[in-house]
């Protein structure tokens, strides 16, 4: 069964652009029990096991004796991973791990981090002035970013939140540096 799931996952990841936005595969959403873990092995990264632990909200990559924490905030504090999607944003044939992460408690700041494990690079889509939250979602089979102009509005029961929805993209800027952005 697992081999079929990996085969289907690989075919979906290689499908590329579908409609408005990139096709992607869901790895982690809110379905894992509070004390659960979820592991993933991808053919693109032989010998690497990606592990999500719901009790801590953390994702790591293990290769032999080496473990690397993914989706870290550096000096900004502890992050909690809300969801993870697999999508080849760079076009190198290997999926990036794209996540919505949450920083803080109470009305937390939510933003997007993309881990390009193949290139050991990380990209962030955030508005540090706390007037925008960004959350990844699958819509019509494509990975989209839902943008909120009001901090915390996406994860409340407020009716008619003021949001927009855009495809996620890695774009090279005029200095040749890849930047995570909304494809408006």
- Confidence (pLDDT) at 64: 94
Measured CA to CA, the distance from residue 24 to residue 165 in angstroms comes to 16
- Confidence (pLDDT) at 107: 67
Q: Which residues are CB-contacts of 107 (< 8 A; sequence separation ≥ 6)?
A: 151, 152
- Confidence (pLDDT) at 18: 33
Residues of the chain whose pLDDT is less than 70? 1-21, 30-33, 73-78, 105-107, 128-130, 150-162
Measured CA to CA, the distance from residue 110 to residue 9 in angstroms comes to 27
Measured CA to CA, the distance from residue 152 to residue 130 in angstroms comes to 9
DSSP string, 84-128: EEEE-SSSSSS-EEEEEEEESSSS-EEEEEEEEGGGTEEEEE--T
């Amino acid at each position: 069964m697992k081999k079929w799931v990996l085969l289907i996952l690989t075919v979906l990841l290689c499908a590329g652009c579908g409609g408005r936005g990139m096709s992607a595969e869901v790895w982690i959403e809110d379905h894992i029990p509070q004390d659960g873990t979820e592991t993933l092995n991808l053919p693109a990264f032989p010998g690497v096991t990606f592990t999500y632990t719901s009790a801590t909200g953390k994702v790591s990559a293990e290769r032999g004796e080496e473990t690397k924490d993914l989706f870290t905030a550096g000096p900004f504090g502890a992050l909690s991973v809300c969801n993870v999607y697999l999508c080849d944003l760079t076009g190198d044939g290997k999926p990036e791990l794209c996540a919505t992460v949450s920083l803080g408690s109470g009305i937390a700041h939510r933003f997007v981090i993309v881990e390009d494990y193949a290139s050991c690079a990380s990209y962030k889509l955030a508005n540090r002035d706390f007037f925008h939250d960004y959350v990844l979602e699958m819509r019509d089979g494509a990975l989209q970013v839902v943008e909120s102009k009001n901090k915390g509005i996406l994860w409340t029961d407020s009716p008619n939140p003021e949001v927009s929805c855009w495809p996620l993209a890695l774009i090279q800027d005029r200095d040749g540096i890849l930047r995570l952005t909304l494809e408006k």
